[in-house]
Amino acid sequence: MIRIHGVAKSRAFRCIWAAEEAGLPYEVIPVGFGPGMKSAAHLKVNPNGKIPAMEDGALVLFESLAINLHIAARAGAPLNPGGDDHSRAMQWTLWAATEAEPAAMQWAYNTYLRPPAERDAGQAAAGAAGLSARLDVLEGQLGANPYLLGNDFTIADCNLAGVLFGAWSNNFDFGGHAKVKAWLDRCFNRPAALAARALRDAA
């Protein structure tokens, strides 16, 4: 059984969603933000002192998107596509981490994550502008396809949509990116995503 260390109101949400999509048995080992992340027990699975981490038999992984790639590999197609689409899924996963997430988090920290007194409106605007520029790229990729790589939902969708969940659920302005908004709505209303969202909402 896959053991996901973290809480649903964290990046562990992405891993819970991936496990639901894969149809693999899993359990969540509750480790929240705070001292628990620095405990000796948790540092054995994530020496960075962060969440999430994953155990799958003898394999221990940290980094949510890497965990998801492993989960998809366990599940096989269509979640983990083969051939050139496998390479494309890797590309969009790395793009999520290097292009989309930094801008999304700059906006998030200065919009809803930090206490109001610690937010910087200029940084929020810069993050929004940066994210919008990345969404221009994504809008072009989606075209007429329901998902990133075509007709099938893959781990590329799970990983990139997972990175954008905070923006989607906290009223980021998707004006000018109608295809992105429709894609996110489609992703987050899949049965597996709804199951993961229910755990997040209950936390």
In this prediction, residue 7 has a pLDDT band, given cuts at 50, 70 and 90, of: very high
Contact (CB, 8 A) for 24 and 168:
no
Q: pLDDT tens, 104-144?
A: 999 999 999 999 999 999 999 999 999 999 999 999 999 88
The predicted structure's pLDDT at residue 187: 98
- Any idea what DSSP says for residue 21? H
- Range list for CATH 3.40.30.10 in the chain: 2-77+194-202
> SS3 for 68?
helix
Alpha-carbon distance 135 to 181, whole Å?
Answer: 10
Instruction: Give the right CATH number for 2-77+194-202 from 3.40.50.150, 3.30.70.260, 3.30.465.10, 3.40.30.10.
Output: 3.40.30.10
pTM of the model: 0.96
- Specify the fold of 83-190: Glutathione S-transferase Yfyf (Class Pi); Chain A, domain 2 (1.20.1050)
Q: Which two tokens stand for residue 56?
A: 């799958």
Maximal C-alpha separation, the chain: 50
- Which of 35, 16, 36 is closest to 26 using CA atoms? 16
- Range list for CATH 1.20.1050.10 in the chain: 83-190
Contact (CB, 8 A) for 141 and 148:
yes
- Strand 53-56 versus strand 2-6 pairing type: antiparallel
